[in-house]
Amino acid sequence: MLPKYYEDINHVVHVDTHTTTKCELCDFFVDEGHPIDKFINHYIKHHGYKILYIGPEGHYDCVTMTVAVLGK
Ligand SMILES: [Zn+2]
């Protein structure tokens, strides 16, 4: 059984420091800088998502970026 925090999640989005450029749900986009914080704020404030996971995402033994998974 899922913890209550996750019970009503119907859609999940994944954002990261390098590849995320556009919101999945609207026309919001960031094309420069370090957009992950802007996307996290955007998904929370504009679409009502909550953070399910945030942390490093590594490739092999080299940590290359930060990822966040948000759900609603
Ligand atoms: Zn949006």
* Domain limits, the chain: 4-71
Q: How far apart are CA 40 and CA 33, in angstroms?
A: 14
Element (H, E) at 44: helix 36-47
Q: How far is the CA of 55 from the centre of ligand 1 (A)?
A: 22
Q: How far is the CA of 44 from the centre of ligand 1 (A)?
A: 9
What value does the mean pLDDT take over residues 26-48?
87
Q: How far apart are CA 62 and CA 44, in angstroms?
A: 29
Q: Does the model's pTM come out above 0.85?
A: no
What value does the mean pLDDT take over residues 7-29?
87
% of the chain at pLDDT higher than 90:
42
Query: Is 1 a residue whose pLDDT tops 70?
Result: no
Q: What are the beta bridge partners of residue 68?
A: 15, 54
Q: How many CB atoms lie within 10 A of CB 67?
A: 19
Which residue's entry shows tokens 């859609």? 11
- pLDDT tens per residue across span 50-65: 999 998 877 777 767 8
What average pLDDT does the structure give for the chain?
Answer: 85
